[in-house]
Amino acid sequence: MKHILTVENVSKSYGDFTALNNVSISVPKGSVFGLLGPNGAGKTSLIRIINQITLQDKGSIYLDGELLQPEHVHQIGYLPEERGLYKSMKVGEQALYLAQLKGLSKTDAKKKLRYWFEKFDIADWWDKKIQELSKGMAQKVQFIVTVMHTPKLLIFDEPFSGFDPINANLIKDEILKLRDEGASIIFSTHRMESVEELCDYIALIDKSKKILDGKLNDIKEEFKTNQFEVGLSCNDKDLLLNEINSKFTTANSDKILFNEDLRLTVNLKNTESSKDLIKFLNNKAQITHFTEIIPSANDIFLKAVANNG
């Protein structure tokens, strides 16, 4: 597997405070990589180091196989959580200025900006000042200036902040489209539902250390607890429940199911399989619903951080 970014044993301290402690991550090319962690965990410090806003105390960073150098800044697009547009400048004037800072000629910048402004239906904003725009409108402009020079690596820090659901979906679709066209993306957020929708891989940082990383689907497999959601149709609900509880550990399910008399969450032992449960239930009732409970990104986040204590 080829990686667009490799972070090797990076540490960073501010006085007596350790922001990053020997952190290593690898971001596969053409993927959305979720960089997750509680507030103050070290995510922002790592992002600032990748963007060369600050330097690591030790460790190495490679962009597309090359040791990170100052000139690589043009190959990275960064959308920070705290937006940095100049409020008194006109939208078009500022977008052109930022595009040229990223190495585009004025002609190419105008052409690309015209494409993106029309795509986002904001061509009429060209001569407006940033201070005249809502937060969400300004976010669209900043998203455009982040991606328009087609960088090797895109870093989005809370990209949906300030967006209504419609525009959040618009940006989400654009991020997925950029990935499908070959872009490599680091995505940092506290919105775990966005992680589910967007991320192929994740890394979780807590208390300055990486405590978890890998392919999201593989991590979900690791965090499964052998639990199953079951819906049953039967003649005697109490009798059936007693029989199930005599063999398995159960809990009431809060899942909304239809056409069943009994719904349960069944916890199996490591020595038991779903086939054992299905065979037992088939002899007792009609199974109307049966699914394994897969942990969500939010479940994994909470459990991993709690275990890191």
Where do the DSSP E strands lie in the chain?
A: 3-14, 17-28, 32-36, 58-63, 66-67, 76-79, 153-157, 184-188, 201-206, 209-215, 227-233, 249-252, 262-267, 286-292
Cα(242)–Cα(31) distance, rounded to whole angstroms? 48
What CA–CA distances, in Å, run from 211 to 25, 280, 305?
11, 39, 8
Calculate Rg over the CA atoms of the chain: 24
Least confident of 43-57, 126-140, 199-213: 126-140
pLDDT band with cut points at 50, 70 and 90 for residue 255: low
**Confidence band (pLDDT; 50, 70, 90) for 30?**
very high
Q: Are 194 and 264 in contact (CB under 8 A)?
A: no
What are the structure tokens assigned to 119, written together?
């795509």
Determine the pLDDT at residue 256.
56
What are the structure tokens assigned to 42, written together? 């070290």
The pLDDT value given to residue 234 = 83
| CATH superfamily, domain at 3-87+147-221 | P-loop containing nucleotide triphosphate hydrolases (3.40.50.300)
**Is the separation of the CB atoms in 47 and 76 below 8 Å?**
no
**Identity at 212, one-letter amino acid code:** L
Percent of the chain as helix, strand, coil, to the nearest 5 = 40, 30, 35
pLDDT over threshold 80, residue 84: no
From 8-22, 112-126, 204-218, the region with the lowest mean pLDDT:
112-126
Q: With 0-12 CB in 10 A as exposed, 13-18 as middle and 19+ as buried, what is 246?
A: exposed
Contacts of 202 (CB under 8 A, 6+ apart): 33, 34, 35, 36, 195, 212, 213, 214, 216, 219, 297
Is 153 strand, coil or helix? strand
Instruction: Please state, in angstroms and as integers, the Cα–Cα distance from residue 188 to each residue in 1, 52, 92, 110, 126, following that order.
Output: 22, 17, 28, 30, 29
- Predicted TM-score (pTM) of the model is 0.89
Q: What CATH number matches the domain at 225-293, 2.60.40, 2.40.33, 3.30.70, 1.10.10?
A: 3.30.70
**pLDDT tens figures, 183-201:** 999 999 999 999 999 999 9
Of all residues in the chain, the percent with pLDDT exceeding 90 is 70
CA nearest to 102, candidates 160, 144, 157, 137? 144
Q: Locate the domains of the chain by residue range.
A: 3-87+147-221, 225-293
Question: What is the per-residue pLDDT for 23?
Answer: 97
**Average pLDDT of 263-285?**
90
Q: Report pLDDT for 86.
A: 85
What is the average pLDDT value for the chain, to the nearest integer? Answer: 91
DSSP-derived secondary structure letter, 194: H
Q: What is the pLDDT of residue 145?
A: 92
Q: What number of CA atoms fall less than 13 Å from residue 258's CA on the CB side? A: 0
| Residue range 250-264: mean pLDDT, rounded | 70
